[in-house]
Amino acid sequence: MHAHSIAMLGTGLIADFYARSLHGQRGADRIRVAYSRSEERGQAFSDRWGIPSHTISMQAAIEHPDADVVVVALPNHLHEEAVAAAAQAGKAVLCTKPLGRTAAEAKRMLAAVERAGVFAGYLEDLCYTPKTLKAVRSVRDGAIGDVTWVRSREAHPGPHSAWFWDGRLTGGGSIIDLGCHCIEIIRNFAGKANRPVEVLCTTATLVHPIEDEDNAIALIRFESGAIGQFEVSWTFRGGMDLRDEVAGTHGTIWLNHFLRTGFEMFTAGGEKGYVAEKAETAAGWLFPVGDEVAELGYVDMFTDMFSSLDEGRTPQETFYDGYVVNSVMDACYRSAREKAWVPVELDWRGGTTPRIVAKPTFYDGQIVIKRELLPDGRDKLILKDPETGDLSDRVITPGA
Amino acid sequence: MHAHSIAMLGTGLIADFYARSLHGQRGADRIRVAYSRSEERGQAFSDRWGIPSHTISMQAAIEHPDADVVVVALPNHLHEEAVAAAAQAGKAVLCTKPLGRTAAEAKRMLAAVERAGVFAGYLEDLCYTPKTLKAVRSVRDGAIGDVTWVRSREAHPGPHSAWFWDGRLTGGGSIIDLGCHCIEIIRNFAGKANRPVEVLCTTATLVHPIEDEDNAIALIRFESGAIGQFEVSWTFRGGMDLRDEVAGTHGTIWLNHFLRTGFEMFTAGGEKGYVAEKAETAAGWLFPVGDEVAELGYVDMFTDMFSSLDEGRTPQETFYDGYVVNSVMDACYRSAREKAWVPVELDWRGGTTPRIVAKPTFYDGQIVIKRELLPDGRDKLILKDPETGDLSDRVITPGA
Amino acid sequence: MHAHSIAMLGTGLIADFYARSLHGQRGADRIRVAYSRSEERGQAFSDRWGIPSHTISMQAAIEHPDADVVVVALPNHLHEEAVAAAAQAGKAVLCTKPLGRTAAEAKRMLAAVERAGVFAGYLEDLCYTPKTLKAVRSVRDGAIGDVTWVRSREAHPGPHSAWFWDGRLTGGGSIIDLGCHCIEIIRNFAGKANRPVEVLCTTATLVHPIEDEDNAIALIRFESGAIGQFEVSWTFRGGMDLRDEVAGTHGTIWLNHFLRTGFEMFTAGGEKGYVAEKAETAAGWLFPVGDEVAELGYVDMFTDMFSSLDEGRTPQETFYDGYVVNSVMDACYRSAREKAWVPVELDWRGGTTPRIVAKPTFYDGQIVIKRELLPDGRDKLILKDPETGDLSDRVITPGA
Amino acid sequence: MHAHSIAMLGTGLIADFYARSLHGQRGADRIRVAYSRSEERGQAFSDRWGIPSHTISMQAAIEHPDADVVVVALPNHLHEEAVAAAAQAGKAVLCTKPLGRTAAEAKRMLAAVERAGVFAGYLEDLCYTPKTLKAVRSVRDGAIGDVTWVRSREAHPGPHSAWFWDGRLTGGGSIIDLGCHCIEIIRNFAGKANRPVEVLCTTATLVHPIEDEDNAIALIRFESGAIGQFEVSWTFRGGMDLRDEVAGTHGTIWLNHFLRTGFEMFTAGGEKGYVAEKAETAAGWLFPVGDEVAELGYVDMFTDMFSSLDEGRTPQETFYDGYVVNSVMDACYRSAREKAWVPVELDWRGGTTPRIVAKPTFYDGQIVIKRELLPDGRDKLILKDPETGDLSDRVITPGA
């Protein structure tokens, strides 16, 4: 293991999450220099996390001689510039989500790092939650058969900083903010070699006085026939709703990353000014999460990134994945405008995936639609005549 | 309270559920005569439920002089004929779901009972589950503000009788079988005066060797702007998944009607041939439901029907509601074929619903996008300049 | 089915629950006359439930010529007098829980109904919740093997009426109020033929300014070796905690009757004075229960009582059961005072139950302590030498 | 941060958990040398975790010149010898749970490290789970008021290695194995300055053919009046049950560390020999945990230990804590034998804790037992006359 020195670009909420992961526990990697547009915020961030230096020059941070890895934790409209500069400087670069505001932007960023030959990782934390990693492994091991449907849902009452609400800076609304997570979670379950073929999306601005969507629902049809479904909302009440459901031909997986994960607290409310941690209420039933940076995937994400860098292998989440996500989001916005299924336009490198298997079995020359065990030990079959299409019930003794 | 005598048409699974509700507990109403196409099944059903007589003539059952109410518990393709005969005989008629196979069929059935002037109820049990009744009441009392989104999901591994799988008899696949429940649940939450305007649906036959859809997802846009979303599946593994989620401008409701509702059992499996009640597994973790007919709404449904009849009022679920559901399902199938949003074609009687309220508040001439309480007791505002559209963060002392 | 006419003694909270069960849904049985010490409360109760007459004379209510069943829904100190009068009048009598304030009182009540030869039922609703009924049936069918441990917990912030808090009227504190439920739930799972042999109990008055216990924990050792454990509290915060856990040699059952049973609601709180149903909070996350009288067992309880009466059989919960519960509670109070295990003094009629089975199996002359399947398909055995008592691990190929 | 080099004594299951925590993620600390009594197991362990050297001499491992910290991951009967040798060698020493087999043994170990002046930490992982750490912080911040009751439960079907079942080597049965966790969890919630005064315990050997207890329940009375309750079992079926409940005068906390924490998987079972991770079943509903070493507290535990060592402060869990736990366990075994409450014999250093606060409030000269809000906005009071002890209900307008 090689201990890395990091130039952190940005000092906002996401940079705080990253620093808490990197400097938390007994990690060997350390932030060496922080860049903020504001001298004060740079100072405060460095004080908070014990960082030896900070600067208001992005270029200076990237070129800091001791830093070998650049982490981009900036608002969306600054990603491309930062990645280009890091690639130019020959540094490894890790970029927060979404990669770009559009697929075109993401594609230029992908080209930049590939041209420079630098290591590049896409910081999609929610694909690295411990539950997701283990669940994806189970799916690959065949535990639920072929994946037929994946629902990924992310919803909360809206982002905490002003720039998130300005589509000119971000590229959109709740899809750009939250949908990028969902799409890549769906891809991990459906299989990264499973091409997203077409998209159907509907958006609405229901509650907040903004132009961009505060709610969206989308369907993604994959090459295998599997359907991805995501729901994103900036108008959800009650905390943070972060759940995934995966259906397969032989099984089911349900993941919950936040509310109701084994920590439940009721408080009649505070004497002595006690305020509980979570936004919506300071009293009543609360559902805290133990170690947020671990549960949300930040810890495993950085482990994969730095260990991949050490070992010369490709990380789980790459700039190419970021580009695919942007391509799907572009298709979502197009579909919502056109109110129709639209193809995902994409420079596909991912290979092919066969259609979901559904081979009929036969009994006595009839197609078996369903077989179930009766309480008396016999089997009930629902059969279909291949000629007439007529259906019938039949009860048989097993082995027969 | 007047005790009613019932002619039960049909003696299959749904008739068993109805009989268990009607003859369970201390109910005053009794099944007087049962009709089955098969003498044997009619006999067995009557023995099972202590019914004094049975017949293989539908007409004879309907015209039984002691029976004042006809319950239609027959396969879908027989509903119209049965309802017409009951109306003709001047009897009150309660018809199982879906009302018809198509909106046209449902409309003729509605016309038949209206013409005859008989009491008619639509037996949509899942709108009567005790949880749903209480939750709908909370929504109407304003507990979650304006409804923005309703998800209703019903999924299991596929129906138990052959005729369900034959679209010629039923009118379709999992939408006709399960979607009818979801649509009416959604309408109860969105408001019955909230016109379903257009529909977007996608269907797939992923696993079973049938022509009709074994999976479908649909969106319904209501006049208020609210979105209904349903997911139905005949390929779900793990039991019966029956969940609803309702989002409002001021709150959230999650309902679960089956798995994980407070009854959890692990069994290492059976000595002495013990077999646990639920289909998919006979050992391991099981999630039984206490009193199925109560939890699934049958008890409250019949109470509403018979009490409405006694009191001369309209029941919660009417033939008109059944017709609306069929109209939405027709639109779903059309949308799936056309791969586009399609209008719901409907003879609307339900009134109008205003658009979801979203009136911006102002602070210092700026639009308030979001306000949240900081740990130090101050408020953080996200503000938008109404002229330029620029966004900014501001922290203020409350009261200011 | 015979429709019964009821004399309801008492018009408080429990009488309201009973009336809601009896007059709810389509029940054939009806309250004919209500007795209250207060003319006003009697009038209000009768208006509320459509009862034709009421009286301030208990004797008059009991002797009402149309009433064939007397339901005792009075404070504890009035049970004996009411039951004696009903028995005297030759009426069937159903008495709320606890049967008496002490075992001596309960025994006199049991003797009174037996002497008079009238039908008598013990209204222990929580033994009749649909979940409990089904779970007890599973246990009897062998689904979890021999029962080794039952935990029953009932906790809330304290009762709603003044008389509950006066030990002189009730016979104690939270044990008398809540423990009686827990004890009889435990008996249903451990087996009614399983004699409660001895009891260990600790009580404390931790929060409320009262003399009687507001918290208690007790262990009950049964003849079979099984342990019953109950926890009762009048100081629980967060609503009503009503959970049971049953461990067996081959399985486990967890029941939850209230919080977190599939109905979850978040409300930011009320415009228009909306107040949510449950005590502790009017906003935030709430966990309502669908149909309380069904979920808490009242419906199935009255069905068992009236149907037993019709069919001339003994109901599930008898006055003898009530007497056993009082005997165990007496032992609890004695144990808490003596700070020691004390025997349950009891006129036992229940039969005997053999000790929990634990027959060792052998492998190669060694006692098998544990056998588990390894990922490679082989079995790992933990073995004990019957001579030396030494333990060892051994990995074998199954079948060997 | 100083990167530490570790001598790991022991190479069994617990050493594997420790290595997975230390060498997982991006940790700076590394195991330098491993000691096993068996050359083969030492080799396998070193290969598995990339450890540069191993030895069959405990002394050689402890004295390895590059190792500055000794981690004791040996069976219970070897703890004292190992700690003594590490202290003798002047090395920092971290010892797995329980510290000793008896309080006398633990006291000698405590004396050894204090005499030698070396850093010593007690590796009680379950006090470091992220949920527990955050919950304990909330309790200290006053979120639930004064703690009145803590239940800690740990249950599974029995340990995986032979030596655990031999009370001569371990010091007991399920109390020594699992109760040590529960006791220290309870102490963290009740407050470490809250002296455990007396103990009541009951044990039973219900299922396994062993001499020591496979089930135990105990109550611990603390100086403040709070009650700790633990339940341990080696006969639980269904996986690993690891739950804590904390009641306070103003709130409640429920923690669940294993089953049902947001990861739910159904599998119809394996084609291609798929075997799911968890012991009891390989099909049906499974409840995996994401990152076990993080969820079970290992990661935060080592962070506290090594960072305390770096910063010269006392870790959260010390040898003194281990000694207190052993003292409570000694009292448990004594109580079980004597069937009575017994005092905890203990050299107490922890300070004092006042009794749980319960100051009555008054209304109109009467003691207020309970106040609750009625739906009409008025308050209902339950009042007690301080002279007569009589109780009454009163409804008032707030502010009055």
What is the per-residue pLDDT for D274? 39
B390 in contact with chain A, both atoms CB, cutoff 8 A: yes
CB under 8 Å to B224, separation ≥6 — which residues? B146, B147, B190, B191, B194, B353, B354, B355, B356
User: How much is the ipTM here?
Assistant: 0.92
D252 in contact with chain A, both atoms CB, cutoff 8 A: yes
What is the per-residue pLDDT for C281? 58
Whole-prediction pTM: 0.94
Residues facing C30 on adjacent strands = C5
B66 falls in which pLDDT band (50, 70, 90)? very high
Tens-digit pLDDT profile for residues B97-130: 999 999 999 999 999 999 999 999 999 999 999 9
Q: Which residues of D77-114 are buried (b: 16+ CB within 10 A; e: fewer)?
A: bbbbebbbbbbebebbbbbbbbbbbbbebbbebbebbe
Cα(D106)–Cα(D77) distance, integer angstroms? 11
The structure tokens 């009022």 sit at B313
CB under 8 Å to A34, separation ≥6 — which residues? A7, A8, A11, A15, A42, A45, A46, A51, A53, A54, A55, A61
C288 in contact with chain A, both atoms CB, cutoff 8 A: no
The chain D residue lying nearest C274, using CA atoms, is D375
Closest in C27, C134, C290 to B288, CB measured:
C134
What is the per-residue pLDDT for C274? 39
Helix, strand, coil share (%) of chain A residues, nearest 5:
35, 25, 40
Distance from CA of D368 to the nearest CA of C (A): 8
Helix (H) or strand (E) holding B105: helix B103-116
Q: At what angle do helices D79-88 and D103-116 cross, to 10 degrees?
A: 10
What is the per-residue pLDDT for C160? 84
pLDDT at residue B304 tops 90: yes
Neighbours of A275 (CB within 10 A): 16
D307 in contact with chain A, both atoms CB, cutoff 8 A: yes
Nearest CA among B351, B348, B356 for reference residue B328: B348
Neighbours of D201 (CB within 10 A): 28
**C118 and C90 Cβ atoms separated by less than 8 Å:** yes
Higher pLDDT, C275 or B119: B119
Q: Measured between beta carbons, which residues in chain D are less than 8 angstroms from residue A260?
A: 262
Number of H helices, E strands in chain C: 12, 19
Q: Measured between beta carbons, which residues in chain C are less than 8 angstroms from residue A280?
A: 266, 268, 284
Tens-digit pLDDT profile for residues A224-237: 999 999 999 999 99
Tens-digit pLDDT profile for residues C248-261: 999 999 999 988 89
Distance of CA C359 to the CA centre of its chain: 33
B393 in contact with chain A, both atoms CB, cutoff 8 A: yes
Average pLDDT, chain C: 92
CB pairs under 8 A between A and C: 34
Tens-digit pLDDT profile for residues D81-119: 999 999 999 999 999 999 999 999 999 999 999 999 999
Tell me what the mean pLDDT of segment B41-63 comes to.
Answer: 98
C-alpha distances in Å from residue C124, one per residue of A35, C14, C75, C188, D88: 69, 12, 15, 11, 65
**A102 and A38 Cβ atoms separated by less than 8 Å:** no
Tens-digit pLDDT profile for residues A149-205: 999 999 999 998 899 999 999 999 999 999 999 999 999 999 999 999 999 999 999
Cα(C325)–Cα(C334) distance, integer angstroms? 14
Residue by residue, DSSP assigns C8-26 as: EE--SHHHHHHHHHHHSTT
C-alpha distances in Å from residue B78, one per residue of A208, B105, D51, D110: 49, 11, 75, 83
Chain length of chain C: 400
pLDDT at residue C73 tops 80: yes
Cα(B130)–Cα(B300) distance, integer angstroms? 7
**Maximum distance among all Cα pairs of chain B, rounded to whole angstroms:** 80
**Maximum distance among all Cα pairs of chain A, rounded to whole angstroms:** 81
Distance from CA of C72 to the nearest CA of D (A): 22
**B195 and B348 Cβ atoms separated by less than 8 Å:** yes
Closest in D209, D219, D369 to C208, CB measured:
D369
Strands C30-35 and C53-55: parallel
As a dihedral over the C-alpha atoms of residue B282, residue B286, residue B289, residue B290, rounded to 10 degrees, the angle is 90
pLDDT at residue A213 tops 60: yes
Tens-digit pLDDT profile for residues A126-144: 999 999 999 999 999 888 9
Tell me what the mean pLDDT of segment B330-357 comes to.
Answer: 95
Helix (H) or strand (E) holding C298: helix C298-311
Q: Phi and psi (nearest 5°) for C356?
A: -50, 135
B281 in contact with chain A, both atoms CB, cutoff 8 A: no
Distance of CA C232 to the CA centre of its chain: 12
What is the per-residue pLDDT for D375? 66
What is the per-residue pLDDT for A37? 96
Tell me what the mean pLDDT of segment B78-107 comes to.
Answer: 98
Cα(A108)–Cα(C119) distance, integer angstroms? 86
Tell me what the mean pLDDT of segment B276-302 comes to.
Answer: 79
pLDDT at residue A307 tops 80: yes
Cα(C181)–Cα(C160) distance, integer angstroms? 17
Nearest CA among B141, B79, B129, B133 for reference residue B319: B79
Q: What is the DSSP letter of C27?
A: B
**Interface probe, candidates A207, A222, A379, A388, chain B, greatest B C-beta count within 10 A:** A207
Q: Measured between beta carbons, which residues in chain B are less than 8 angstroms from residue D280?
A: 266, 268, 284
Tell me what the mean pLDDT of segment A294-311 comes to.
Answer: 95
What is the per-residue pLDDT for D277? 37
Q: Can you list the residues of chain D whose pLDDT is less than 70? A: 269-282, 375, 398-400
Residue by residue, DSSP assigns D290-334 as: S-HHHHTTHHHHHHHHHHHHHHT---SS-HHHHHHHHHHHHHHHH
What is the per-residue pLDDT for C280? 56
Tens-digit pLDDT profile for residues B368-391: 988 877 767 788 899 999 999 899
What is the per-residue pLDDT for B360? 82
Tens-digit pLDDT profile for residues A78-123: 999 999 999 999 999 999 999 999 999 999 999 999 999 999 999 9
Neighbours of A41 (CB within 10 A): 17
Tens-digit pLDDT profile for residues D160-207: 889 999 999 999 999 999 999 999 999 999 999 999 999 999 999 999
**Interface probe, candidates A261, A275, A285, chain C, greatest C C-beta count within 10 A:** A285
What is the per-residue pLDDT for D272? 40
**Interface probe, candidates B23, B25, B302, chain C, greatest C C-beta count within 10 A:** B25
What is the per-residue pLDDT for D188? 98
Average pLDDT, chain B: 92
Three-state DSSP class for residue A145: coil
What is the per-residue pLDDT for C271? 43
**B217 and B230 Cβ atoms separated by less than 8 Å:** yes
B281 in contact with chain D, both atoms CB, cutoff 8 A: yes
Cα(C294)–Cα(C130) distance, integer angstroms? 8
What is the per-residue pLDDT for A271? 43
Residue by residue, DSSP assigns B210-229 as: -SS-SEEEEEEEETTS-EEE
Three-state DSSP class for residue B54: strand
* C-alpha triplet C148, C154, C157: angle, nearest 5°: 155
pLDDT at residue C277 tops 50: no
The chain C residue lying nearest D375, using CA atoms, is C275
Q: Phi and psi (nearest 5°) for A112?
A: -60, -45
Cα(C185)–Cα(C152) distance, integer angstroms? 7
Average pLDDT, chain A: 92
C-alpha distances in Å from residue C65, one per residue of C14, C84, C89, C118, D302: 24, 18, 10, 16, 78
What is the per-residue pLDDT for B216? 97
What is the per-residue pLDDT for B281? 57
Neighbours of A189 (CB within 10 A): 29
Nearest CA among D166, D169, D239 for reference residue C367: D166
Tell me what the mean pLDDT of segment A372-382 comes to.
Answer: 78
Joined together, the tokens standing for residue A65 give: 């001689």
Q: Which residues of D252-261 are buried (b: 16+ CB within 10 A; e: fewer)?
A: bbbbbbbbbb
What is the per-residue pLDDT for C399? 60
Q: Which residues of D207-243 are buried (b: 16+ CB within 10 A; e: fewer)?
A: bbbbebbbbbbbbbbbbbbbbbbbbbbbbbbbbbbbb
Higher pLDDT, B386 or A54: A54
What is the per-residue pLDDT for B282? 61
Tell me what the mean pLDDT of segment C314-332 comes to.
Answer: 98
Helix ranges (DSSP H) in A176-246: 180-190
D340 in contact with chain C, both atoms CB, cutoff 8 A: yes
B397 falls in which pLDDT band (50, 70, 90)? confident
**A235 and A207 Cβ atoms separated by less than 8 Å:** yes
What is the per-residue pLDDT for A357? 76
Nearest CA among C58, C24, A59 for reference residue B1: C24
The chain B residue lying nearest C243, using CA atoms, is B262
Cα(C309)–Cα(D107) distance, integer angstroms? 67
What is the per-residue pLDDT for C375? 66
C290 in contact with chain B, both atoms CB, cutoff 8 A: yes
Residue by residue, DSSP assigns C337-391 as: HHTB-EEPP----S---PPPP-PPEEETTEEEEEEEE-TTS-EEEEEE-TTT--E
Single-letter amino acid code for the residue at B96: T
Cα(B5)–Cα(B230) distance, integer angstroms? 37
B303 in contact with chain C, both atoms CB, cutoff 8 A: yes
B219 in contact with chain C, both atoms CB, cutoff 8 A: no
